[in-house]
Amino acid sequence: MSAQAKLQFADLEGVGPGTPAGEYLRKFWQPVFRASDLLPRRPKPIEILGEKFTLYRGDSGRIFLVEYGCPHRGAPMLLGWVEGDDLRCRYHGWKFDGTGQCIEQPDLEVSSAHRVKMRSYPVREYLGVVFAYLGQGEAPEFITYPDFEKPGVIVTDPQEVVPCTFWNRLDNDIVHIPWVHRATALRKGRLDFIVPRKEVVEETPYGWKSTRIAKGRTTNMRDMSGSAHFFMPNAYQFGVRTRIKGFEDRDLWDTKITWTVPVNDTTFVAFDVTHTPLTGEEGERYAQSKYKQFETEAEDRWDLADKVLAGEMTLEELPDELSAYTAFAIEDYVTQVGQGTVARRGQENLVETDRKVTLTRRLWLHEVQAMLDGEPLSVWKMPSEPLQVLAAE
């Protein structure tokens, strides 16, 4: 696209190298893998923003991200062996250090290893997630989130791969809650989810803040349930009463952050992290209960979702014993995946309650247009204090 052409929202759907949205997202640290799933000596292939990479953990515990294919003749590096913090290719045994520098070419009488280097990318482990900087030049400052630095227990959900454009998730809103989650709310007796919601959205130095107004809600409005925050370009944070089995009856509030990261143009991966204000043995018990629930229900949740999308069962027919957490995930999946891999943007009928959608798109279009025109981009300022607090705190 020429720098002069006016950017349309449809231009933001591609995420590969050289695309407007892909280049913009590459300017930020992005989550790429759940850290606990990366075992030493077990390299993993990953795809993020339409590019494939090799992620591995060395014997020292350090994490490295390098190219997918070997610079010799392209064999997948994940097939190779981790030796210390280095990675050896299985095809002809060339060995590379964590910076991507070739350090051994075993069958050559005269080594040219010093001239061979593959790209490696800066990585950081934070909140149980591996973040990487995939852009050009020096990585920007790494961002931390004050709500997740408070005392409490951090739980990092298994990454959730969803077969549709990341925009279908970023465009998700508050108004959907009493509709999409009606069946589960009724099944679980959570009538508080069914009250209609409105939201007031305002721009902030980091993106936007949404203040929710739930009509007729009798509980005190608190920032925990009443506000949500969007951090440009693709993170969203909010408070939610815990839905974990065994803790459902407690007045316990999680702060949740979710990053929506494109795998490619037609698939995204969500990384969800929650902070819960429980410490010590109780915090541990809470985390274990949550991880156990993920394990037992993760396997067939998308099978159920696909059945719903095929018209073979309804959301009202989801099994009673399914946790609210998993049922909510299924309800969101069918709504978002069901819109199609690339939803019919441009043919929508946006209305007042879609203010959040229009604002997010406006911020994105403004930044990406500036990037294409070679103008300075906004410097998003993260809050220095927690945002999600109980009113009484």
Among 35, 75, 116, 382, binds ligand FES (CB under 6 A): 75
70 binds, among Fe ion, ligand FES, none (CB under 5 to 8 A by kind): ligand FES
Q: How far is the CB of 57 from ligand FES (least distance, A)?
A: 20
Neighbours of 88 (CB within 10 A): 18
Q: Which helix (H) or strand (E) holds 231?
A: strand 227-231
Distance between CA 270 and CA 255 in Å, rounded? 16
> Which range in 119-127, 206-214, 328-336, 349-357 contacts Fe ion by CB under 5 A?
328-336
The distance in angstroms from the start CA to the end CA of the chain is: 51
Contact status, residue 225 vs residue 212, Cβ threshold 8 Å: yes
Residue 228 β-bridge partners: 210, 238
The binding track of 85-124 with respect to ligand FES, each residue x by CB under 6 A or -, is: ----x-xx-x------------------------------
Among ligand FES, Fe ion, none, what does residue 332 contact (CB within 5–8 Å per kind)? Fe ion
Joined tokens for residue 7: 């950017």
Contact flag: residue 332 with Fe ion (CB under 5 A): yes
Count residues contacting Fe ion (CB under 5 A)?
A: 1
Burial 163-180 (b: 16+ CB within 10 A, else e): ebbbbbbbbbbbbebbeb
With contacts defined by CB under 6 A, how many residues of the chain interact with ligand FES? 8
Distance of CA 393 to the CA centre of its chain: 29
Q: In what order do the strands lie in the sheet with 120-121?
A: 44-48, 51-57, 63-67, 120-121
Give me the least distance between CB of 321 and Fe ion, in Å please: 20
Q: Which is nearer to Fe ion, 258 or 264 (CB)?
A: 258
The burial of 217, by beta-carbon neighbours within 10 Å (0-12 exposed, 13-18 middle, 19 or more buried), is given as middle
322 binds, among ligand FES, Fe ion, none (CB under 5 to 8 A by kind): none
Bridge partners of 57, per DSSP, are 40, 63
User: Nearest CA to 135 among 35, 46, 65, 45?
Assistant: 65
75 binds, among Fe ion, ligand FES, none (CB under 5 to 8 A by kind): ligand FES
| The entry of Fe ion, ligand FES, none that residue 25 binds, CB within 5 to 8 Å by partner kind | none
- The full DSSP string for 328-345 is HHHHHHHHHHHT-SS--T
How far apart are CB 70 and ligand FES at their closest, in Å?
3
x/- mask, Fe ion, residues 286-325, rule CB under 5 A, reads ----------------------------------------
| 147 lies in the site for Fe ion, by CB under 5 A | no
* Residue with smaller CB distance to Fe ion, 97 or 332: 332
Instruction: Return the range that interacts with ligand FES (CB under 6 A); candidates 53-61, 69-77, 270-278, 379-387.
Output: 69-77
Q: How far is the CB of 350 from Fe ion (least distance, A)?
A: 19
Decide whether 95 or 197 has the Cβ nearer to ligand FES: 95
Three-state SS for 186? Answer: helix
Binding-site ranges for Fe ion (CB under 5 A): 332
Binding-site ranges for ligand FES (CB under 6 A): 70, 72-73, 75, 89, 91-92, 94
